[in-house]
Structure 1
Amino acid sequence: MKRAVLYMRVSTVDQNPETQLHDLHQMAAQRGYEIVHEYVDRISGTKAKRPGLDQMMTDARRGRFDVVMVWACDRIARSTRHFLEVLDELSRIEVEFLSFRENIDTGGPLGRAIVVIIAAIAELERGLIVERVRAGMRRARLEGLRIGRAPLTLDREAIRRDRCHGRSIRAIAKEHGISTATVQRVLKDPPAPPT
């Protein structure tokens, strides 16, 4: 018997997940699944942090169940991209995904084909984003714009002088607006020969 979990999300605290629960319990009974846990989030679908979903994914990684059941795909993800990421991770850790409304079941051959198609679309989207970023960087370079952080200008002699006067590395870093690691690196480097 497969161990199943139910994930439900309602957008506001006054909404009730009972409708979703009823349909999912019925579907689990028809398939002979044992429901081992129910995760519920009462939060907008656009929110990145959802305690129920986060806990469900943690439990999935720990192998605590075999199937995730949702009432509809839009219940589990805040965007198409997020949905693809969740499906991809579930597929990678060999957890099946079932959606009541869309009738998606990644346990069968058609469901696995849908996951492959979805993964290909996600990869295409990632590739297009990378290409857009590269094109933007090329354009910025052609326009003479700096890409990345400006080079750090250090008064190495002042840093060494401050240290010789007994100032702490942290105080020197704060005064010069640099990290303590940079101060330590400057102190390790030999001073430049006089010109």
Structure 2
Amino acid sequence: MKKVALYVRVSTLDQSNKNQKVRLTEYAKQKGYEYDIYEEVESSRRTRPVKQELLKKLRSGEYSGVIVYKIDRWARSSTELILEIKELVDKGITFVSISDNLDFSTAAGRLHFQILAIFAEFERSLISERTRNALQRKKAEGYVFKGRPKGAKDLKKRKNDGYLKREERKRLMDNPK
């Protein structure tokens, strides 16, 4: 019997995850899976401790798969989704989204995943392109970039003896006599 994790998430305290739990437990029972439920409540903040705990257990092999109600319950961005699912799939961990009818352990599911990955890469490229264009425009308008704001580490002089030693060693390696 396969042991899986069921992950449910709602964004605010006034929302309910009952529908997600009902659908996920029905699915797991129908497939004959042994399961544990992981509930993330009020996950509007950046960190999701329940998900992080689940990821740790998935990585250690405690579960052979994770099942979510909908793919957007797992990740907040396509980049997060792609990176985490790729890691899980590469480790042989099943990832299923029942509402989206996606099972990344099947050939069709892997095809869907590749398509999602391509769109995520495209999205990252567009963001990068827009950022470069905005910086070029600002520069053309005469904006002077000041760089990173000074912080606590900038207030005291840094040691550079390690840097000098590395540079000397590199120079000797490149030009042995």
TM range (shorter): 0.7 to 0.9
TM-score (norm 1): 0.67
Q: Is the 8 Å Cα contact of residues 89 and 105 (structure 2) preserved in structure 1?
A: no
Query: Which residue in the other structure is 1:5 paired with?
Result: 5
The structure 1 segments of at least 4 consecutive aligned residues displaced by more than 4 Å after TM superposition are none
Separation of aligned partners in 1, 2:27 and 2:79: 27
Larger relative contact order (CA 8 Å, sep ≥ 6): 2
Q: Look up the match of 1:43.
A: 42
Equivalent in the alignment of 1:31: 31
The reply to whether residue 61 of structure 1 matches residue 67 of structure 2 is no
- For 1:133 and 1:11, the matched residues in 2 are separated by 30
User: What's the secondary structure of 2:110's corresponding residue?
Assistant: helix
Which segments of 5 or more consecutive residues in structure 1 lack a partner in the other structure?
153-173, 190-195
Q: Distance in 2 between matches of 1:8 and 1:47?
A: 16
Q: 1:95 to 1:135 in 2, by over 3 A?
A: same
Is the counterpart of residue 95 in structure 1 residue 72 in structure 2?
A: no
Relative to 1, partners in 2 of residues 1:106 and 1:18: Cα closer, same or farther, differing over 3 Å? Answer: same
Q: Flag the 1:91–1:179 CA change in 2: closer, same or farther, 3 A.
A: farther
1:105 equivalenced with 2:116 (yes/no): no
TM-superposed CA distance for 1:55, in Å, is 1.3
Q: Report if aligned partners of 1:72, 1:100 keep a CA contact under 8 Å in 2.
A: yes
Q: Quick one: distance in 2 between partners of 1:31 and 1:3?
A: 11
Q: CA deviation at 1:28?
A: 1.5
| Structure 2 spans left out of the alignment, 5+ residues | 165-177
RMSD over equivalenced CA pairs, Å: 2.9
Letter in 2 for 1:61: R
Over alpha carbons, which structure has the higher Rg? 1
Q: CA deviation at 1:111?
A: 0.7
1: CA distance, partners of 2:88 / 2:107: 16
Aligned residues: 159
| Superimposed CA distance per residue, residues 176-195 of structure 1 (whole angstroms, 9 cap, x where no aligned partner) | x72341xx45xxx9xxxxxx
Scaled by the length of structure 2, what TM-score is found?
A: 0.73
CA contact (8 A) 1:6 1:24 kept: yes
Aligned match for 1:142, one of 140, 143, 148: 140
**1:8/1:71 contact within 8 Å kept:** yes
Q: Do the aligned partners of residues 137 and 98 (structure 1) sit closer, same or farther apart at CA in structure 2, a change above 3 Å counting?
A: same
Q: Distance in 2 between matches of 1:29 and 1:92?
A: 26
Closer, same or farther: CA 129–8 of 1 in aligned 2, 3 Å: same
Q: Is the contact between residue 88 and residue 119 of structure 1 (CA under 8 Å) also seen in structure 2?
A: no
Residue 27 of structure 1 aligns with an amino acid whose one-letter code is Y
Which segment is superposed worse, 85-94 or 108-117?
85-94
Shift in CA distance, 16/125, structure 1 to aligned 2, threshold 3 Å: closer
